[in-house]
């Protein structure tokens, strides 16, 4: 593979800069895909002047293409102006083919040199030039502020920079857009033809995908929208297909593993636990428990996702699984994404398992050193059956005697990398991950393709829907006061911990003082992720015990917190939160006997923000919410799909590319049914690329 520094025009210094973008070889550069494209084709004269309103892009509805105002014309006159301030203006009038345009460059004055000297050389009356520009004033569309210019006789300009659709890349200091485009153009010319096809011909035919080398040229320098769309689709398909294959192989591998132990359902702990609970399991809790128990009794390790809306009772299901492990003499770990939540689970354990013959402990940073040492010691000796904690439990120094079950609560808050670390820890352990984020079917397959799914589809009886309204702060606070007067409790959430420079969003710290005043006579405290673990724990415990009336918090309380006496959730800057977060936050109330309210206070609402608020007010069901487009996009963000390193997509986006994903899943299943180990000749390329990308990252051994 050719080192990037040997690409013409790059050299060692620029190669260093490219490294910051993750580009070390020419290949890396070729697969450094644009994040969007600019349509810099010359179009009808005056229409073209309206930036961002290209008729074509609009008709085609490509949201990744931006129309740019492009002018081609002959310079008629040139004037160099000084303004009263330090600004200098280089003003030209040009004949832009049927109309006259006034195009200007602006620069700050310099005493030391003539800022327009280079311009004056290129831009002379009679010369023909290309410009990209923005209208100075929407009313005078022929008065333009120049952004880039190219001389008509510049041989590369029209191939790389202007009068065509050009690529737009994420950049870094020292690498300009223009340089990047030029380098890419050279790389594509010289190296793209060698990028061979590896998708089997049958798939290409079935999905009418364009060939790889062609797509590579077209994705960077498309001749038209058709090419651009097809090139993108080809690479999106390619990326998703490899991922889907990797999931399938991973899953098969897990199923073929022998964990080397089995379980017997003795009910020594399970029965007393059920009796102590004080409620009957719902039908779907029972079903989930059965599915989990049968996985645990099977020879292969369990890999299962338990999905259930907020408040559907996942914890009790998890505890059942942990008790099955414990009564079989094995160890289990119950992991939560935050210390607050781990602490709360610990309290739940204390409540339900107090008189049972099972040993459990909490392991978080809040635990004192001496106690911690003792817990670690007992874990290693096997004197603790269940440990409850955060990802700190994954640390190397935590050793188990016989860890066989790992339960991960609110799985979407953990990275896949942490999940993998967990897997290594448990070696061949059973794994149950839980989430309250409803995920549409295809998305589930894409995100958790190696897991089986159990769903909690019904709610514990007697739940009252939370009344959700969009109100102003005053109305919200009035309701908070009246609930507090009835001895209920309230959450008031702000998006930030501290005031930001922009000041458009409210923060916990800034508002806290004001709210203490506003709710004078009530017990007001704050809680945010920036506080030390012990402090958070103390505040949360006091809130749970009813010693705090109003909790001013960030989204640290978003996941899992269960305080039935809390009946009001006020969300400030509600327009800023994604649907998944809003729904999670709302899930903190409506957990007890009382009617609860969720009050959304918007401080400025974009159309999208208003749409989300409207969606929240119209339904309580996470499932309904999960069908909204904006939710699905949000899930992608929540799950950190593009960042977490295990699926580094260059162009695909599983939330957005649902249609392609469906095709991919179908094609993958058909292909594997015919050639499960990709051993046929026509699949050799696929196999090679799959292993290259995923073998190490996902520990795929099944194919090698
Ligand atoms: P989540 O699924 O959001 O984690 P939890 O496990 O915290 O939900 O349960 C929410 C509340 O419902 C808890 O207070 C729990 O004790 C209660 N609960 C769970 N299952 C049942 C049930 N079958 N009947 C009545 N209450 C239940
Ligand atoms: Mg929970």
| Any ligand 1 atom below 6 A from CB of 411 | no
State in Å: Cα 685 to ligand 1 middle.
50
What pLDDT, on the 0 to 100 scale, is given for residue 84? 72
What pLDDT, on the 0 to 100 scale, is given for residue 54? 45
Of the candidates 164, 208, 169, 210, the residue with the CA atom closest to the CA atom of residue 187: 169
State in Å: Cα 560 to ligand 2 middle.
4
Check whether residue 414 and residue 553 sit in a common domain: no
Return the half-sphere exposure (C-beta side, CA atoms, 13 A cut-off) of residue 340: 26
What pLDDT, on the 0 to 100 scale, is given for residue 43? 67
Nearest-CA residue for ligand 1 atom 27 is 460
Place of tokens 């569309």: 141
Number of domains in the chain: 3
| Any ligand 1 atom below 6 A from CB of 310 | yes
Distance between CA atoms of 623 and 438, rounded to whole angstroms?
6
Show which of 151, 168, 185 is a domain's final residue.
168
Q: Which numbered ligand comes closest to the C-alpha of 315?
A: 1
Residues 6+ apart with CB under 8 A from 518: 477
Q: Provide the pairing of β-strand 100-108 with 87-95.
A: antiparallel
Check whether residue 278 and residue 423 sit in a common domain: yes
| Any ligand 1 atom below 6 A from CB of 558 | no
Buried b (16+ CB within 10 A) or exposed e, 119-148: beeebeeebebbbbbebbeeeebbbbebeb
| Any ligand 1 atom below 6 A from CB of 312 | yes
Q: To the nearest whole number, what is the mean pLDDT of the chain?
A: 87
Q: Is residue 179, in this structure, part of any structural domain at all?
A: no
Show which of 111, 143, 168 is a domain's final residue.
168
Q: Is residue 694, in this structure, part of any structural domain at all?
A: no
Q: Which numbered ligand comes closest to the C-alpha of 310?
A: 1
What pLDDT, on the 0 to 100 scale, is given for residue 254? 86
Distance between CA atoms of 541 and 85, rounded to whole angstroms?
61
**3-class SS string, 577-601:** CCHHHHHHHHCCCCCCCCCCEEEEE
Tell me which of 311, 317, 353 to substitute to probe ligand 1's pocket, judged by most ligand atoms within 8 Å of the beta carbon.
Answer: 311
Tell me which of 286, 288, 315 to substitute to probe ligand 1's pocket, judged by most ligand atoms within 8 Å of the beta carbon.
Answer: 315
Ligand 1 atom with minimal separation from the 314 CA: 2
Nearest-CA residue for ligand 1 atom 13 is 313
Of the candidates 283, 100, 240, the residue with the CA atom closest to the CA atom of residue 666: 240
Q: Is residue 426, in this structure, part of any structural domain at all?
A: yes
| Any ligand 1 atom below 6 A from CB of 282 | yes
Check whether residue 428 and residue 510 sit in a common domain: no
Q: Is residue 417, in this structure, part of any structural domain at all?
A: yes
Distance between CA atoms of 291 and 680, rounded to whole angstroms?
36
Check whether residue 153 and residue 49 sit in a common domain: yes
State in Å: Cα 582 to ligand 2 middle.
16
Nearest-CA residue for ligand 1 atom 16 is 313
Show which of 568, 600, 619 is a domain's final residue.
619
> Which run of H or of E encompasses 145?
strand 140-151
Residues 6+ apart with CB under 8 A from 533: 339, 364, 365, 366
Q: Is residue 690, in this structure, part of any structural domain at all?
A: no
Check whether residue 421 and residue 478 sit in a common domain: no
Q: Which domain holds residue 278?
A: 270-297+311-435
| Any ligand 1 atom below 6 A from CB of 436 | yes
Check whether residue 352 and residue 473 sit in a common domain: no
Check whether residue 424 and residue 566 sit in a common domain: no
DSSP code per residue over 61-105: T-TTEEE--EEEEEEEEEEEEE-SSSEEEEEEEEE-SSSEEEEEE
What pLDDT, on the 0 to 100 scale, is given for residue 641? 38
- Report field, pTM of the whole predicted structure over 0.85: no
CATH code at position 324: 3.40.50.300
Q: Is residue 98, in this structure, part of any structural domain at all?
A: yes
Nearest-CA residue for ligand 1 atom 26 is 460
Averaged pLDDT, 462-466: 84
State in Å: Cα 591 to ligand 1 middle.
8
| Any ligand 1 atom below 6 A from CB of 331 | no
Task: Indicate whether 20 pLDDT > 70.
Answer: yes
What pLDDT, on the 0 to 100 scale, is given for residue 450? 82
| Any ligand 1 atom below 6 A from CB of 566 | no
State in Å: Cα 231 to ligand 1 middle.
49
Q: What is residue 640's three-state secondary structure?
A: coil
Of the candidates 103, 34, 92, 96, the residue with the CA atom closest to the CA atom of residue 66: 34
**165-207 confidence digits (pLDDT tens):** 999 999 999 999 999 999 999 999 999 887 889 999 999 999 9
Residues 6+ apart with CB under 8 A from 47: 53, 55
Q: Is residue 71, in this structure, part of any structural domain at all?
A: yes
**275-310 confidence digits (pLDDT tens):** 888 899 999 999 999 999 999 999 999 989 999 988
| Any ligand 1 atom below 6 A from CB of 622 | no
What pLDDT, on the 0 to 100 scale, is given for residue 604? 79
CATH code at position 144: 2.40.50.140
Of the candidates 277, 282, 204, the residue with the CA atom closest to the CA atom of residue 237: 204
Q: Provide the pairing of β-strand 331-335 with 386-389.
A: parallel
* Strands (DSSP E) found in 220-297: none
**28-75 confidence digits (pLDDT tens):** 999 999 999 999 998 655 544 454 444 454 456 688 999 888 889 999
């Amino acid at each position: 593979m050719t080192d990037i520094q040997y690409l013409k025009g790059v050299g060692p210094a620029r190669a260093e800069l490219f490294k910051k973008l993750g580009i070390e070889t020419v290949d890396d550069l070729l697969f450094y895909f644009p994040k969007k494209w600019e349509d810099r084709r010359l179009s009808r004269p005056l229409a073209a002047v309206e930036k961002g309103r290209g008729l074509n892009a609009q008709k085609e509805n490509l949201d990744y293409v931006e129309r740019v105002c492009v002018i081609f014309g002959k310079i008629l006159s040139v004037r160099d102006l000084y303004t009263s301030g330090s600004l200098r203006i280089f003003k030209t009038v040009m004949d832009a083919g049927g109309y006259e345009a006034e195009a200007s460059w602006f620069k700050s004055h310099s005493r030391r040199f003539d800022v327009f000297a280079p311009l004056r050389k290129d831009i002379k009356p009679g010369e023909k030039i290309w410009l990209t520009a923005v209208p100075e004033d929407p009313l005078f569309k022929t008065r333009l502020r120049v952004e880039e210019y190219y001389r008509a006789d510049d041989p590369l300009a029209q191939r790389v920079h202007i009068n065509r659709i050009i690529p737009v890349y994420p950049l870094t200091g020292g690498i300009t857009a223009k340089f990047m485009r030029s380098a890419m153009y050279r790389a594509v010319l010289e190296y793209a033809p060698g990028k061979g096809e590896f998708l089997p011909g049958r798939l290409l035919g079935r999905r009418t995908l364009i060939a790889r080398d062609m797509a590579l040229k077209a994705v960077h320098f498309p001749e038209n929208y058709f090419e651009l769309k097809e090139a993108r689709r080809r690479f999106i398909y390619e990326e998703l297909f490899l991922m889907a294959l990797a999931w399938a192989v991973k899953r098969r591998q897990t199923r073929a593993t022998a964990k080397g132990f089995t379980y017997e359902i003795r009910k020594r702990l399970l029965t007393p636990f059920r009796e102590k609970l004080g409620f009957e399991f719902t039908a779907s809790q029972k079903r989930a428990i059965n599915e989990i128990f049968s996985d645990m009794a099977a020879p292969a390790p369990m890999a299962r996702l338990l999905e259930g809306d907020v408040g559907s009772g996942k914890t009790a299901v998890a505890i059942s699984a942990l008790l099955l492990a414990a009564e079989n003499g094995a160890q289990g770990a119950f992991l939560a994404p935050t210390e607050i939540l781990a602490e709360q689970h610990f309290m739940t354990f204390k409540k339900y398992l107090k008189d049972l013959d099972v040993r459990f402990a909490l392991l978080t940073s809040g635990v004192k050193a001496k106690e911690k040492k003792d817990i670690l010691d007992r874990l290693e000796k096997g004197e603790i059956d269940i440990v409850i904690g955060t990802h700190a439990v994954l640390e190397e120094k935590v050793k188990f005697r016989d860890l066989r079950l790992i339960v991960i609560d609110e799985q979407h808050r953990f990275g896949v990398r942490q999940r993998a670390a967990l897997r290594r820890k448990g070696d061949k352990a059973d794994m149950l991950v839980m989430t309250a984020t409803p995920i549409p079917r295809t998305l589930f397959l894409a995100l958790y393709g190696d897991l089986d799914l159990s769903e909690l589809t019904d709610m514990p009886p007697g739940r009252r829907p939370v009344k959700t309204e969009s109100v102003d702060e005053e109305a919200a606070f009035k309701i908070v006061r009246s609930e507090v007067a009835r001895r209920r409790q309230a959450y008031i959430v702000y998006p930030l911990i501290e005031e930001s420079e922009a000041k458009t969003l409210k923060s916990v710290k800034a508002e806290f003082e004001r709210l203490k005043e506003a709710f004078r006579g009530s017990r007001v405290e704050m809680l945010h992720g920036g506080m030390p673990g012990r402090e958070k724990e103390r505040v949360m415990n006091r809130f749970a015990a009813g010693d705090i009336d109003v909790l001013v918090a960030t989204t640290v309380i978003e996941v899992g917190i269960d305080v039935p006496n809390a009946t009001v959730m006020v969300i400030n800057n509600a327009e800023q939160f994604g649907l998944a977060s809003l729904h999670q936050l709302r899930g903190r109330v409506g957990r007890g006997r009382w009617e609860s309210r969720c009050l959304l206070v918007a401080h400025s609402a974009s159309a999208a923000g208003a749409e989300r608020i409207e969606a929240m007010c119209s339904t309580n069901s996470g499932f309904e919410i999960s069908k909204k487009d904006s939710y699905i996009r949000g899930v992608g963000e929540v799950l950190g799909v593009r960042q977490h390193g295990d699926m580094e997509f260059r162009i695909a986006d599983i939330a957005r590319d649902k249609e392609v994903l469906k095709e991919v899943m179908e094609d993958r299943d058909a292909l594997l049914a015919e050639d499960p180990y990709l051993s046929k000749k026509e699949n050799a390329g696929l196999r090679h690329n799959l292993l290259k990308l995923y073998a190490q990252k996902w520990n795929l051994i099944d194919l090698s």
